[in-house]
Chain A
Amino acid sequence: MRYSYTLGTTRYHFTNLAELMAKATPARAGDRLAGVIAHTAQERVIAQMALADVPLKNFLNEALVPYEEDEVTRLIIDTHSADAFAPISHFTVGDFRNWLLSDAADSATLAQVRPGLTPEMVAAVSKIMRNQDLILVAKKCQVTTAFRNTIGLPGRFSTRLQPNHPTDDSTGIAASILDGLMYGSGDAVIGINPATDNLAQCQNLLHMLDEIIQHYQIPTQSCVLTHVTNAIEAIELGAPLDLVFQSIGGTEATNTGFGFNLAHLAQAEAAAQSLARGTVGNNVMYFETGQGSSLSANAHWGLDQQTCEVRAYAVARQYNPLLVNTVVGFIGPEYLFDGKEIIRAGLEDHCCGKLLGLPMGVDVCYTNHAQADQNDMDTLLTLLAVAGCTYIMGIPGADDIMLNYQTTSFHDALYARQVLGLRAAPEFEAWLEKMQIIETHQPAKLLDAMPDTFARTLEHLSDSDNSDARAEAGQ
């Protein structure tokens, strides 16, 4: 279907909804690379004006990726709830924005409407929102999930403790885990990006994480971020797996490039559920996303990268994840060029994911070839924390020595908690108090002394080092 908009005596035409959506998108490198970006700043605003006039109903009648050729489109269309959509079915995209910002759209109402929203409607409205709109609307959305603790409660701000190591050395990983726990990090998950996809390696890491969590009775969950097919096999082999991980994209072809399809996700969720390892809930999936993956896989069907990204959230919500994380600045400057583009994309992803009912975290991050630095990360982190972001990454000193990028540190998370009065997940916070890592009164404060339990592990380490040295000397 063609779309047009008249300004003065000039009539602007857009071939279809995909073109209109792409041209209405705030400027970014990936859309320029894909050749779908507006040619001028004026054309972008005209596209936004035209998009604001599009009835939401059109999104149900005009698939951006053909139904017959894409299982993500089929999932979106087949699971759409006409009942939930009914109260907003007469809206245009512009009306939808007004409603989202109005008092009529409170947390409970938004939750009721969710099954009636398609990712394309959500992507469209985000394109005509300013950053403050994205923050305000996201803040209204409440999404709570649970496994061994409860994630996403109001006033809470969680972290993934990410103790990566370039060779998966267990001692190096343990050192980073200890560092994170001492800084109150790790309530969302203790999650390792393994250095290889080797299955035996993943199993070893799963056992290691499970033993630590069990030994210290930490109310959190572990994850080794390996391919979904590896996770299925690990479960069959009896590995102590809490969460299944997978990177996902918004088109079937993107996911084919990632080496999986929707049936794999369903199979993995069922397998992880069968282990019944959760104590306070049963959300067992962990998804990562990021703008640019469909373009990078040459699987974007002419769509802009943000629309592809929001379609990935439709995949995610089908499998009731504990955590979803947009790795916003990881993919590089050819998709998001600088701090400004990364900040905008992070706010869009967070808001759109939340609108669709996902427990959205953001990996507030950048690579060294992007035009960005920690100041940009501070800005995005602060905006996201204000917007009610579910969780961020916690990495020693913000420097990931395995993936070679910078993200948020344990210190950064504590900064956000401090300036906004936010707290860790309740079960985890109680554990931090019990272990004498934080003081009991609010706001939580780190204690200066190292807790006895952990101090003893260091003494023990020194002793064994000395005995190793003695043993070597005796040889």
Chain B
Amino acid sequence: MKRPHVVANPWQQLRRFTDARIGLGRAGTSLPTHELLAFQLDHARAQDAVHLPLDLARLATDLSALPALAPLGDIIHLRSRAADRNQYLQRPDFGRRLHEDEIPRLHHLSTSTEYDLAIVIADGLSSQAVQQNTAPMCEALLSALHNDDQSWQLAPLCVVQQGRVAVGDEVGEQLKAKAVVVLIGERPGLSSPDSLGIYLTWQPKVGRNDGERNCISNVRPQGLSCSEAARRLLYLLKESRRLQLSGVDLKDRTISDTSTIQNGAKNFLLPS
């Protein structure tokens, strides 16, 4: 439909190759009304995603439907030191630490035999990502661990509210786990308010830095699938256990990165 005073862009057809907002057309040189409001809507959704609280009851229901989780016992609900969202956003140091009341609760759970792995779920910057993607991700991960030739002694599943990535280090340390995997809501983009990030730390303890972690990001239906993420994560976990480390010295060699480069059509800007 032709919109009055809007110059259309014939190359809008290229949107089938990218989620980027190309071919928007223009009113003068400004955004047409329709595109202006579409952007505002996406921004509003992304902002809401940041502030939307995690529905713990629903998450628990979704997770308890996974048979593979049953042997781990009850889900442990924890809080970080950040009292609310505003404080969480301004004090990353609070989001990285457990509230002190939670420490004794975790002590009860640590056993004489060390856990091989603790799985920690944190809301991060998008509870939506956690709400939608952690149950399928846990299912894929537990299945991968179950089918592995080595055995994996798992700690009870922990969920941390107002948590940042590093909070997993404290949970893992308190549980005396050899490794921790944190599933966390990534900062939302306009086209991806639901992206889940996965972080692995070997020998977690308070004070580990980002260079000592491995990350798999963009887990969501339109991004990296849970099964592919689980495959890569299992590889990293096994390598981490073999090498007794995580981070920059642990490389993801599951795929050749270059293979993903030319997966579209050829570069149409150049003569064939």
Known: A399-B189, A415-B30. A166 touches B10 (CB 8 A): no
Q: Mark A142-180, 1 if CB is under 8 A from B, else 0.
A: 000000000000000000000111111111111111110
Contacts of A368 in B (CB 8 A): 43, 46-47, 49-50, 125, 187-190, 193
Binds B, one of A49-57, A198-206, A342-350: A198-206
In the docked arrangement, what's the CA distance between A173 and B268, Å?
10
Q: A401's contact among B19, B24, B89, by CB below 8 Å, is which?
A: B19
CB-based contact B261/A201 at 8 Å = yes
**Chain B interface secondary structure, helix, strand, loop or mixed?**
loop
Across the interface, name the chain B residue whose C-beta is closest to A203: B258
Chain A residue numbers with a CB within 8 Å of B193 are: 368
Q: List B contacts of A411 (CB < 8 A).
A: 24, 26, 29-31
Complex Cα–Cα for A183 and B261 (A):
26
Which residues of chain A come closer than 8 Å to B11, judged between CB atoms? Answer: 175, 178-179, 182, 450, 454, 458
Partner-binding segment picked from B73-81, B90-98, B144-152: B90-98
What is the bound-complex CA distance between A460 and B39, given in angstroms? 31
Nearest-CB residue, chain A, relative to B258: A200
The answer on a CB contact under 8 Å between A334 and B269 is no
Contact pattern, B 15-53, Cβ under 8 Å of A = 1, otherwise 0:
101111111101011110001000110110011011000
Known contacts A171-B267, A369-B125; A458 and B43 CB within 8 A of each other = no
Counting residue pairs across A and B whose Cβ atoms lie within 8 Å, the total is 203
Is the CB of A457 closer than 8 A to any CB of chain B?
yes
- Bound together, the chains give a CA A328 to CA B99 distance in angstroms of 32
Taking A178-B14, A411-B24 as known contacts, 16 extra A-B pairs with beta carbons closer than 8 A to each other, sorted by chain A number, are: A33-B92, A165-B20, A167-B260, A173-B18, A178-B22, A179-B22, A204-B258, A208-B267, A333-B90, A367-B187, A397-B20, A397-B39, A399-B42, A400-B189, A401-B189, A464-B266
- 6 smallest A-B Cβ distances: which pairs? A397-B21, A404-B189, A171-B264, A172-B18, A414-B29, A175-B14
Contacts of A414 in B (CB 8 A): 29-30
- The distance in angstroms between the C-alpha atoms of A32 and B92, with both chains bound, is 12
Q: Is A29 an interface residue (CB 8 A)?
A: yes
Q: How far is the CA of A29 from the CA of B191 in the complex (A)?
A: 27
Which secondary structure dominates chain A's binding surface? helix
- B80 to nearest A CB, angstroms? 14
Contact with A along B128-143 (1 / 0, CB 8 A): 0000000000000000
Q: A171 near B29 (CB under 8 angstroms)?
A: no
Complex interface bits, A454-475 against B, C-beta within 8 A gives 1, otherwise 0 = 1101101110110010000000
Instruction: Identify which of B15, B26, B257 contacts A446 (C-beta below 8 A).
Output: B26
| A404-B20 contact given A166-B218, A171-B265, A215-B271, CB 8 Å threshold | no
A233 at the interface (CB under 8 A from B): no
Task: Identify B10's interface contact among A367, A401, A455, CB under 8 A.
Answer: A455
Q: State the interface size on chain B (CB cutoff 8 A).
A: 61
Task: List A415-436 residues whose CB lies under 8 Å from chain B.
Answer: 415, 418
Question: What residues of chain A lie closer than 8 Å to B272, measured between beta carbons?
Answer: 460, 464
In contact, B39 and A398 (Cβ under 8 angstroms): yes
Q: 1/0 per position for A174-195, CB-CB distance to B under 8 A?
A: 1111110011000000000000
- Cβ–Cβ contact B92 & A401, under 8 A: no
CA of A330 to CA of B185 in the docked complex: distance in angstroms?
Answer: 18
Most chain B beta carbons < 10 A, residue from A168, A177, A448 = A168
